[in-house]
Amino acid sequence: MGITDWIEIGRMDELGRMDTPAHRLDARAKAIVTLAFIVVVMSFPRHDVSALTPFLLYPIALISLGRIPVGYLARKILIAAPFALFIGIFNPLLDRTPVTTIGTVAISGGWVSFGSIMFRFFLTVGAALALVACTGMNRLGAALERLGVPRVFVVQLLFLYRYLFVVSDQAGKMKRSAEMRSSGRPLRLRVYGSMIGHLLLRSMDRAERVYRAMVARGFDGEVRVLRPSSFVWSDAIFVAGCLLFFVSARLWNLAEAFGRLLTGGAM
């Protein structure tokens, strides 16, 4: 019901359990490469768009090798899109110096940087979601930990993911029962406020009970996991290949170079 359906979190788990070339890569390798990808994409100057296009290759490769449904992933990206939109939306207003023209229309620097922000957003969020979809949240958590991310953060992340389902389910039920008693009128903001408050209190109670159950089974602050995973040669080649590509695409505008190649250097 409700939010859980909307974010289809269970679907992500199913995708994470598939067995494809992308899934078989070591989770650490994918985590390192994706992190490097995000850093490199974010490091471009703000007016760059064309130089970023070669970076589409990485998420596309993950998606196709991992057989991840593109429509599903696109919907997930759109959920987060408003955040990027609000970050970039004022650029066209603040920066009105024309930097290029398309036909007779002058394009201001603001629009170009706005486009660049949105494009980077799609690249990075797409890559991160593709990473989760072809790794699974639990394996990703274990990988982060083995890469030296402090255990508390990893555990927080995994718990956030685990209880998102339970809490959003609870929220859905509260909303439904409120609607059933509202005689068809839309719920007032005040009601939502109260519901969110209740949800917070219930989540805190839940946290206490979960902790209690953990302690009852000998939890002492350290989460131990049983997961064999091995970093093999193909993983090393994957990491090296991707990093090499990112660095060259950062140093040279591969899109322009490719264009020059096609047009015989007439650009």
Partner 1 sequence: MSHHVVEVRDLSFAYPDGTEALRGVSFRIEHGGAVALIGGNGAGKSTLLLHLNGYLSTTRSDVRIGDTIVTRETAALARRAVGMVFQDPDDQLFMPTVAEDVAFGPLNAGLPPDQVESRVASALERVGMTHLRERPPYRLSAGEKRAVAIATVLAMSPDILVMDEPSSNLDPRARRRLIEHLLSFEHTKIIATHDLELVVEVCRHVLVMDAGRIVAQGPTVEILSDENLMLAHGLERPHILRHAHPH
Where does this chain bind partner 1 (CB under 8 A)? 10, 13, 17, 136-138, 141, 158-159, 162-163, 165-166, 206, 209-210, 212-220, 224-226
For the chain, report the end-to-end CA distance as a whole number of angstroms.
Answer: 55
Name beta bridge partners: 106: 101
Distance, in Å, from the CA atom of 140 to the CA atom of 38, rounded to the nearest integer, reads 16
Of 59 and 136, nearer to partner 1 (C-beta) is 136
Least separation in angstroms between CB 107 and partner 1: 47
User: Least distance from C-beta 229 to partner 1, angstroms?
Assistant: 13
Residue 46 vs 202, nearer CB to partner 1: 202
Q: Please state, in angstroms and rounded to a whole number, the distance separating the CA atoms of residues 162 and 158.
A: 6
- Taking the least distance from each CB to partner 1, the nearer of 23 and 250 is 23
C-beta of 18 vs 99, nearer to partner 1:
18
Backbone angles phi, psi at 121, to 5 degrees: -60, -50
Read off the DSSP letter of residue 151. Answer: H
Which pairs from 108-113 meet CB under 8 Å and 24+ separation?
109/47, 112/47, 112/49, 113/46, 113/47, 113/88
